[in-house]
Amino acid sequence: MAGKTQAKNAESPSGKASLSLTFPTLSSSKAAYDALLSESEFSHRGHSRVRMAGKTVVIEVVADDLVSLRASLNSYLRLMHIIKSVDEKTSE
């Protein structure tokens, strides 16, 4: 029975995804980059990378399984929503 469990785990699909968020100013994108960078250092079943491309912050996530990928994406999306909301409020 242990052999079947190991075989099932070995066949679990992995995944990768990327998210990007463009800001109106370079200083806003740098602030978002700095805020998201610490999140990229925390991962149990995969890894992520945060980088800047001009005024755009790009997040690349690679996960060992789809559950981890979904959890990571949800975390980043939540943080990106908060960052974008704060940026819009402070730009008014």
Please report the pLDDT score of residue 22 as a whole number.
94
> CB–CB of 73/61 below 8 Å?
yes
Cα–Cα dist 37/51, whole Å: 8
Please report the pLDDT score of residue 90 as a whole number.
85
- In this structure, the strands spanning 56-63 and 46-53 are antiparallel
pLDDT single digits (tens) 56-70: 999 999 999 999 899
CATH of region 16-91, choose from 3.40.50.720, 3.40.50.620, 3.30.310.50, 3.40.30.10: 3.30.310.50
Please indicate whether residue 2 or residue 34 has the higher confidence score (pLDDT): 34
Please report the pLDDT score of residue 2 as a whole number.
44
Least reliable range by pLDDT among 51-55, 79-83, 88-92: 88-92
Ordered by start, the domain boundaries in the chain are 16-91
Please report the pLDDT score of residue 57 as a whole number.
96
- Residues 6 or more apart in contact with residue 73 via CB below 8 angstroms: 17, 19, 61
pLDDT single digits (tens) 24-59: 999 999 999 999 988 877 766 788 999 999 999 999
